[in-house]
Amino acid sequence: MHAAAMVTRPGDVYLRPVIGGAAAPLKPHLEEPMTATTASGRGMFFFRRFLSSPREVGALCPSTRHLGDAMLVDLDLRGDDVIVEYGAGTGSLTRSIRDRLQRQPELRYLGIEREPGFCAILQQRWPELTFAAAQVEDVQRLLAEHGLPRPKAIISGLPLILLPTMEQIVQQAYEVLAPGGSFRTFSYLQSYPLKSARRLRRLMADTFDDYSSSRLVTRNFPPAFVLRGDKQAL
């Protein structure tokens, strides 16, 4: 398979797995993130993106592996089930998902990240995975274009409480999920009491057939709760 970029509408660029080479930069201004090959380099790029677009990035630094692992606890995936990741960023949660894919190589994955610079970093780190530089609101179209069925899991790293489309994203996640599927996101400790965070929890409880919140994941900065919404199996 050769490196390919398929543009279906402005701003939607798909990065595909590459054999024998690295994915080409999406745009000339992406040379900087393509050099972010170390954790510190990725962290600095993440921080600079936060300073320029705080509402879109939503955090000062990437999440830890501990939060990523907590997002996948009790996630029932079998056969060629599909995992979709929302807001993959520089790959903090992707790393935990990749570990799961290595244990179950028949699983399928699609990462959606609107920031092309983050997408370039992700493809550089994991050229065997597929990422789309696109909006998560277009998830149904993206699944169809990649020939993927309804996902069994949607793992979201988006700062949902800062997004005007929060309600649309959550409701659409329920509609897109396969029966028995699970939507996972997280809420930072310091924002948990806020009106917007309470609204997110109510929205998930009202939307999904089952809703729960994890114990506090303290080994993350900031500490966070994993919010889980499950769709009833047939």
User: pLDDT digits over 100-135, tens only?
Assistant: 999 999 999 999 999 998 899 999 999 999 999 999
- The pairing of beta strand 182-188 with beta strand 153-156: parallel
Q: Using CA atoms, how far apart are residues 216 and 163, in angstroms rounded to an integer? A: 23
Instruction: Find where tokens 């979201």 sit.
Output: 156
- 52's enclosing H/E stretch is helix 39-52
Helix runs in 53-114, H state only: 54-57, 65-71, 92-103
Residue 21 has pLDDT above 50, yes or no: no
Buried b (16+ CB within 10 A) or exposed e, 125-157: bbbebbbbbbbbbbbeebbebeebebbbbbbbb
At residue 53, the pLDDT reads 54
User: pLDDT digits over 140-186, tens only?
Assistant: 999 999 999 999 999 999 999 999 999 999 999 999 999 999 999 99
**Domain ranges across the chain:** 13-230
User: pLDDT digits over 87-98, tens only?
Assistant: 999 899 999 999
Q: What is the pTM of this model?
A: 0.78
Class of 13-230 in CATH: alpha beta
Phi-psi category of residue 97: left, alpha or beta, with phi > 0 → left and psi -120 to 50 → alpha: alpha
At residue 113, the pLDDT reads 95
